[in-house]
Amino acid sequence: MSTDTAHSDVQQFHPRVRSALENPQIRSNFRSAMDGLMGKRQAAFEDWELETLRDLGAAVRLRALSRLPELLVQLETNCQLQGIRVHWAETGDQACEIIRDICKARDARRVIKGKSMVSEEMELNHFLEAEGIEALESDLGEYIVQLAEETPSHIIMPAIHKNTDEISDLMHEKTGTERSRDVGYLTASARQQLRDKFMQADVGISGVNFAVAETGTLCLVENEGNGRLTTTVPPCHIAVTGIEKVVEHLEDVAPLLALLTRSATGQHITTYFNMISGPRKADEKDGPEEVHLVLVDSGRSSIYQDQELLDTLRCIRCGACMNHCPVYARVGGHAYGTTYPGPIGKILMPHLLGLENTRDLPSASTLCGACGEVCPVRIPIPKLLQRLRKESVDGDRLRPSVVPGHGVKRTLKEQASWNGYRWLASDPGRYRLAGWMMTRFRALTPRNVGPWTRYRTAPRPAAKTLHQLMAARRREEQS
């Protein structure tokens, strides 16, 4: 299942879901991976500290968001003081162009990339390749996904949809690596091939996990060391991030980091944690000559306008919501057709692509609440899904709404059925009469009620409603 350009076929949610559900390999790859991740997360938190940390994490993110505009200015100033050049991009395309221009100015042909979901969001690799610039992913998962010409199926583990055999076959076919089930061997082989690329790269591009306004520090969390190589070996480093990643103080990073790694992979700490504070100084032996920071808006400032939807921007991209999502565990990341899959994708992507392009996402949830229960920064995901459902059917399309495409699902049929429900349930007499008729004519209950009975029997009305039973009891008592 290749979702090459994620955006173009985002409408095909149902067909993709069906094909994912019919694919036993996908089902078992995701199920076992998600079970493992849930177990690891649980083991990583001491009971007593989890809820306290989540309170702290949510508070830190809320505080940062409440001052977002001024923090961004502060971040820019402090980055510039340290020699980091700061660029602002309103759209993903603009961000791509900025990065291209930086590359062109250095006559750069080869780019090595660390993991960055924002760069996926703006489809940077395609853009650069069309401009004659080679962009190679260096995160192992991203590397595999790139070899397969696919998109990530998980925001933390991009190649989680593939098992070892599939990866071995892929590497054999694309790079000539000998087939093996030995993960260590496959990793070593990929590392070997990437090492040379790091040395040859003209530019390194990375994401950012936290950008500290007070100090102008860019924090990068990773396990493979590829992030450190990407940001230190090539002569030019470009960090690209969404504008919401800013935090106020350096101390704010501690709880967020503790939450991020535990929630994501159950690690107490990752193998690498990079704090980038500018290009190489005169007396330093290594590091890039140039460091750039590209701050991408791409719909975020419009989310910021709304007091409730704003919570979407708290996200620290840990992936815990998808790991715990019963829908994601069954259909996998590609079924969503969006850069960010799972619960966070369902609440974020409608803003980035418009509800008209993500119409099936807000409803693709039972509102079971598993995501909200684990989110390290307490994003009320079910509540936001509910809000987006409301936006999808909210009448007046001419009324300005911060959610693009609002009202797109307000069909006459849908409206008519809820008006019918209102007609029946807002009048007790009418409701009781309907109940009486249902029980009276229960033999006539249809056996077939649409999609429900495709997989289940239809419920049968009782012989007497609870209203009738309770009324009869009353009469008995009184007589």
Partner 1 sequence: MTDTIKLYPAKPAKVYFYGTCLVDLFYPDAGLAGVQLLEREGIDVLFPQDQTCCGQPAFSSGFNDQARDVVVPQLDLFPGDWPIVVPAGSCGGMMRKHYPELFAGTPWQAKAEALASRVFELTDFLLNVCHIRLEDRGEPVRVAMHTSCSARREMGVGDIGPTLLAQLQQVEVVEQARATECCGFGGTFAVRHPEVSEAMVADKTTAIEEAGADTFLATDCGCMMNIAGYAEKQQRSLKGQHIASFLWQRVGGDA
Candidates 103-111, 120-128, 251-259, 463-471 — which segment interacts with partner 1 by CB under 8 A?
A: 463-471
Say which entry of partner 1, ligand SF4, none residue 137 contacts (CB below 5 to 8 A, set by partner kind).
none
Among 40, 63, 191, 330, binds partner 1 (CB under 8 A): 330
**Smallest gap from residue 30 Cβ to partner 1 (A):** 11
| Mode of pairing for the β-strands spanning 217-222 and 272-276 | antiparallel
320 contact, one of ligand SF4, partner 1, none, CB 5-8 Å limit per kind: ligand SF4
Residues in the chain: 479
Report helix, strand or coil for 6.
Answer: coil
Cα dihedral value 2, 223, 138, 4, nearest 10: 10
CB nearer to partner 1: pick between 288 and 435: 435
Q: In this structure, what token pair is assigned to residue 408?
A: 């797109």
Nearer to ligand SF4, 189 or 265 (CB): 265
Q: Does the protein bind partner 1 through residue 440 (CB under 8 A)?
A: no
Supply the DSSP string of 217-249, one letter for each residue. Answer: EEEEEESSSHHHHHHHSSSEEEEEEEGGGEES-
User: Do 295 and 88 touch, CB atoms closer than 8 A?
Assistant: yes
Q: Please give the Cα distance from 376 to 431 (Å, whole number).
A: 44
Contacting positions for ligand SF4 (CB under 6 A) = 263, 315-321, 343-344, 375-377, 379
Give, as ranges, the residues between 383 and 412 that touch partner 1 (CB under 8 A): 383, 386, 389-394
CA end-to-end span of the chain, whole Å? 70
State how far the Cα of 175 lies from the Cα of 102, in Å rounded to an integer: 30
- CB closer to partner 1 out of 132 and 420: 420
Token couple for 364: 């693709």
How is residue 209 written in tokens? 């996990």
For tokens 């990530």, name the residue: 152
Amino acid at 387: R
Query: In this complex, which beta carbon is closest to partner 1, that of residue 81 or of residue 458?
Result: 458
The number of C-alpha atoms within 13 Å of 121 and in the hemisphere containing its C-beta is: 25
Instruction: Give 113 or 324: the residue with its C-beta nearer to partner 1.
Output: 324
Nearest approach, Cβ of 364 to partner 1 (angstroms)?
6
State the minimum distance, in angstroms, from the CB of residue 448 to partner 1. 12
Quick check: 453 binds partner 1 (CB under 8 A)?
A: yes
Does 471 participate in binding partner 1 (rule CB under 8 A)?
yes
Nearest approach in angstroms of CB 178 to ligand SF4 is: 37
* Distance, C-alpha 131 to centroid of its chain: 28
The interface mask with partner 1, positions 21-40, x = CB under 8 A, is x-------------------
Phi and psi, residue 249, nearest 5°: -120, 160
- Considering only residues 83, 287, 354, 369, which one is a binding residue for partner 1 as defined by CB under 8 A? 369
Binding site for partner 1 (CB under 8 A): 14, 17-18, 21, 51, 54-55, 58-59, 326-327, 330-331, 360, 363-370, 372-373, 378, 383, 386, 389-394, 414-415, 418-419, 421-422, 424-428, 431-432, 435, 438-439, 450-462, 464-471
